[in-house]
Chain A
Amino acid sequence: QKEVEQDPGPLSVPEGAIVSLNCTYSNSAFQYFMWYRQYSRKGPELLMYTYSSGNKEDGRFTAQVDKSSKYISLFIRDSQPSDSATYLCAMSHSGGSNYKLTFGKGTLLTVNP
């Protein structure tokens, strides 16, 4: 079993839809949870970062972490064609070994105008 599982999609939605992206993980030592966005032929860029459990909102984006279920989500409201990209969840440990990011394989999202 991989440490981080992510449905690769692809996911295709109409403009304005609410998008839900999810990851599950097996390592209970993960404390930091991130969502990266990667446009085609570009490097990943950080969208959201959450420490431990809870919700975090930033504009149209909401990140949720449920450590009891080892499940994290990213919601995109009022999705736009410019949101079309691959979304990668990433996690790291706390303490001295938390530099290494463990990524899901990514979900390819297409938002159709």
Chain B
Amino acid sequence: DSGVTQTPKHLITATGQRVTLRCSPRSGDLSVYWYQQSLDQGLQFLIQYYNGEERAKGNILERFSAQQFPDLHSELNLSSLELGDSALYFCASSVASGYYNEQFFGPGTRLTVL
């Protein structure tokens, strides 16, 4: 158990809908990262927050957004969902930003868009 929690574990929804994925980092970790894992693209970095502020963006679609709250939990919002958004979404956390530090991954949320 990495100490990172994600809810829900599974999410099934329809095209055009909006969903929110939630992540609670390990106690003491200030950085939260979101990744998307699909069969064809592998594991891809979406976005990072550090202590409430956006720190870096990767291949995140405009339909997707995220935020980190004062209690450090984070939410990833996916809107106008398409079939191709079906994937595993992982949250990871680490102690700090700006230099290498181990990222601990949560168990993931499996999103299925029908």
Q: Please list the residues of chain A having a beta carbon within 8 angstroms of any beta carbon in chain B.
A: 31-32, 36, 41-46, 49, 51, 88, 92, 94, 96-106
Contacts and interface: CB of A to CB of B under 8 A. Distances in A.
A54 to B, nearest CB: 15
21 contacts: A31-B100, A36-B105, A41-B108, A42-B108, A43-B105, A43-B106, A43-B107, A43-B108, A46-B102, A46-B103, A46-B104, A49-B102, A88-B43, A92-B100, A97-B56, A99-B48, A99-B55, A100-B56, A100-B58, A103-B42, A103-B43
Q: Which DSSP category, helix, strand, loop or mixed, fits chain B's interface?
A: strand
B84 interface: no
Given A32-B100, A100-B48, A44 B43 contact: yes
Nearest to B6: A43
Contacts, number: 59
Contacts of A36: 105
Given A32-B100, A96-B98, A98-B99, A45 B42 contact: no
Nearest to B58: A100
Contact of A99 (B31, B44, B104): B31
B45 interface: yes
B56 A99 contact: yes
B67 interface: no
B7 interface: no
Interface in B64-88: none
B20 interface: no
B21 interface: no
B56 A44 contact: no
B44 A103 contact: yes
Contact of B42 (A46, A51, A105): A105
B2 interface: yes
Contacts of B100: 31-32, 49, 51, 92, 94, 98
A103 B103 CA distance: 13
Given A44-B43, A45-B2, A105-B42, A99 B98 contact: yes
Interface string B40-57: 001111001000000110
